[in-house]
Amino acid sequence: MTAVQRNNVKILGSGERTLMFAHGYGCDQNMWRHVTPAFLDDFKIVLFDYVGSGHADASAFNRTKYSTLHGYARDVLDIIGELQLSRVNFVAHSVSSMIGALAAIESPRPFETMTMIGPSPSYINDGAYVGGYERSDIESLLETLESNHVGWSAAMAPAIMGNPESPELAAELEASFCRMDPALAHHFARVTFLSDNRADLPHLGIRTLILQCQKDVIAGLSVGEYVHQCLSKSQLVLMDASGHCPHMSAPGEVIAELKKFL
């Protein structure tokens, strides 16, 4: 099986530069549909699903490989290698920000820029570092997900999405959570929420845009500022958008900031 087949890769548009969009936990490549049309004329657009998400081949799941975010980063590099991509501008939502960072640290040559939307290198508070959660909070969240996948999805989707005036957005996110295989959803959640990539950040040497939302319950402003401080070639933009998924709730603002950066 090729990486293109395994990760359900789709290629749109044309151009010498590549935009590679990477979805967050519980999502899939379809979540970028409001953003990609704005770049079709100038970029080759690469979309994919992580194993365990969307229409990726679930039979490719390997518990050892995917026990850390490095396994998912390896898949990103496999796709880039198979397609012989260069000048890759990696646009990452949430956990994909750290996956993309790990990929670019391991193999920087094909990467041109990195855009991180709502990144967090660690969700757990640690001394002066405020990740937003105590470890007990995360363990409780994971226990609930494991015991009641549907109930967890219904409760978490509105909080993650924010924007209560647009309940259809939370409903879409909830449906996406529920489509995941419960065992794979719990595994990816555990890897996502228990990872600590703070020590990796200073090794990312490419130009990076950090898009930070208002009132993000998953990755608050202090986390975005921390990531910015760790990346020597980064710029932090505090958007008017709120919630954790601005590419769905405020795609126009994401498009505008991404175009300025690129």
E strands, 23-144, are 44-47, 88-93, 111-117
Residue 191 neighbours by CB under 8 Å, 6+ apart: 66, 67, 68, 69
Active site residue 228: no
Question: Is residue 216 annotated as part of the catalytic site, yes or no?
Answer: yes
Contact 79, 4 (CB under 8 A): yes
Q: Note whether 148 and 217 are within 8 A (CB).
A: no
Is 187 considered catalytic here? no
Catalytic residue among 216, 228, 247, 249: 216
DSSP string computed for 29-45: GGGGTTTGGGGTTT-EE
Query: Which listed residue (23, 28, 75, 94) is catalytic?
Result: 94
Rounded CA gap, 242 and 219, in Å? 11
Question: Of the residues 187, 244, 247, 249, which is catalytic?
Answer: 244
Question: Which strands form 111-117's sheet, in the order they lie side by side?
Answer: 10-13, 44-47, 18-22, 88-93, 111-117, 207-214, 234-242
**Geometric angle at alpha carbon 63, from 189 and 111, rounded to 5°:** 70
The phi, psi pair for 179, rounded to 5°, reads -75, -20
d(CA 201, CA 121): 8
Is there a contact between 255 and 82 (Cβ–Cβ < 8 Å)?
A: no
Q: Which two tokens stand for residue 201?
A: 């950040």
The amino acid that residue 178 corresponds to is C
- Which active-site residues does the annotation give? 94, 216, 244
